[in-house]
């Protein structure tokens, strides 16, 4: 099992006091991130936690880490190409009782249009897409968002194993540029999990 032995010294300090499950997820995410960073020429980098609990990526790199019930993944990219990336994975299981807390009325209508056996998957996709969008905007220097601040629209009318979606920021607080307000993303359904991701291009 992945544990503290997989962490570098700075990461060990950042994870002091973690429960075993949280420690394993933290370590698993760091392992995924280091493998991805190595492909961009950054080997053996300790990923410290910032004050906002986000990873401190190497200079010139943007990234995102996700972990859910033993599943861990990471995405990294050159900052000259992307301003930020957002990645999220969730175990399928968002129940109907949670829909109003997570979803806007058009999103609930879309969920109702899905076959009964796919609705939990569809609801989890909406949840995950909003989480990925938040992570992306947070990586670009944005602040806190609520679920109802973001609208998700899927390209296809029915849930499939792979697909695309549009995430749109509804809150008009003047703190976002137009490029941040609507981002295209992609998703994958793999067994018990859904994965969503999107990226914000760097300014040309």
- CATH number of the structural domain spanning residue 140: 3.90.470.20
Written as six digits, the tokens of 44 are 């053996």
The CA-CA-CA angle for residues 169, 36, 193, to 5°, reads: 60
Q: Are residues 15 and 111 in the same domain?
A: no
Residue for token pair 């609930």: 108
Domain membership of residue 91 (yes or no) is: yes
In angstroms, the CA 88 to CA 66 distance is 5
Same-domain check for residues 22 and 108 = no
Specify the number of domains making up the chain.
2
Same structural domain for residues 40 and 94? no
Per-residue pLDDT reduced to its tens digit, 64-116: 999 988 899 999 999 999 999 999 999 999 999 999 999 999 999 999 999 99
In a domain, 68, yes or no: no
- Residue 120: pLDDT over 60: yes
Residues spanned by the domain of 104: 86-201
CB 136 within 8 A of CB 183: yes
pTM for the whole structure = 0.91
Please list, in sequence order, all residues whose beta carbon lies within 8 angstroms of the beta carbon of residue 97, skipping any fewer than 6 positions away. none
């Amino acid at each position: 099992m992945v544990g503290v032995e997989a962490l570098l010294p700075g990461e060990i300090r950042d994870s002091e006091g973690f429960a075993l499950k949280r420690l394993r997820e933290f370590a698993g995410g760091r392992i995924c991130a280091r493998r991805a960073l190595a492909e961009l020429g950054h080997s053996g980098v300790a990923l410290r936690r910032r004050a906002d609990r986000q990873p401190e990526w190497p200079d010139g790199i943007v990234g995102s880490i996700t972990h859910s019930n033993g599943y861990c993944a990471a995405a990294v990219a050159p900052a000259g190409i992307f301003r930020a990336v957002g990645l999220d994975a969730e175990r399928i299981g968002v129940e109907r009782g949670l829909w109003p807390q997570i979803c806007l009325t058009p999103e609930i209508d879309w969920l109702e249009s899905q076959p009964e056996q796919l609705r939990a998957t569809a609801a989890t996709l909406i949840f995950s897409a909003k989480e990925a969008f938040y992570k992306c905007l947070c990586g670009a220097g944005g602040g806190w968002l609520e679920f109802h601040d973001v609208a998700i629209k899927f390209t296809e009318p029915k849930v499939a194993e792979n697909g695309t979606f549009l995430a749109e920021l509804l809150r008009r607080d003047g703190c976002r540029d137009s490029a941040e307000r609507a981002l295209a993303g992609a998703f994958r359904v793999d067994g018990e999990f859904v994965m969503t991701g999107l990226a914000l291009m760097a300014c040309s």
